[in-house]
Amino acid sequence: MSDLEGTAAIITGAANGIGAGMARVLAGEGVALALCDIDPVVHDLAAELEAGGASVFAGQADVSDPAAVRAFVDSAIERFGRIHTMVSNAGTWRATYPLDGWEKAVEDFDAIVATNLKGVFLCGRAIAPHMAEMGGGNIVNIATDHICPPPGYSTGGGTRMDVYDASKWGINGLTQAWARVLAPEGIRVNALCMDATDSKMIRGALGMEPPQDLLDRWMRPEQIAGLLVDLLNEGPEGRTGENIGIWLDHEVALPPRVEPLPSRFQ
Coil, strand or helix at 26: helix
140 strand-pairing partners: 87, 190
pLDDT of residue 200: 75
pLDDT tens-digit series, residues 167-218: 999 999 999 999 999 999 999 999 999 987 877 777 777 676 777 877 777 8
What average pLDDT does range 237-254 have in this prediction? 94
153 a catalytic residue: no
In 115-199, where does DSSP find H-type helix?
119-134, 162-182
Give me the count of residues in the chain. Answer: 266
* Residue 25 host element (H or E): helix 17-28
pLDDT of residue 198: 78
> What are the residue boundaries of the structural domains of the chain, listed by start?
8-246
DSSP secondary structure string for all residues of 192-204: EEE-SB--HHHHH
Q: Which fold has domain 8-246?
A: Rossmann fold (3.40.50)
Catalytic residue among 164, 170, 192, 232: 164
User: Residues of 72-103 as b/e, b for ≥16 C-beta within 10 angstroms?
Assistant: bbeebbeebebbbbbbbbbbbbbebeeebeee
pLDDT of residue 266: 67
pLDDT of residue 258: 85
What average pLDDT does range 122-144 have in this prediction? 98
pLDDT tens-digit series, residues 75-100: 999 999 999 999 999 999 999 999 99
* Candidate from 14-23, 27-36, 143-152, 194-203 with smallest mean pLDDT: 194-203
Give the CA distances from residue 98 to residues 102, 161, 166, in Å, rounded to whole numbers and listed in that order. Answer: 10, 9, 13
* Residues 25/54, Cβ–Cβ less than 8 Å: no
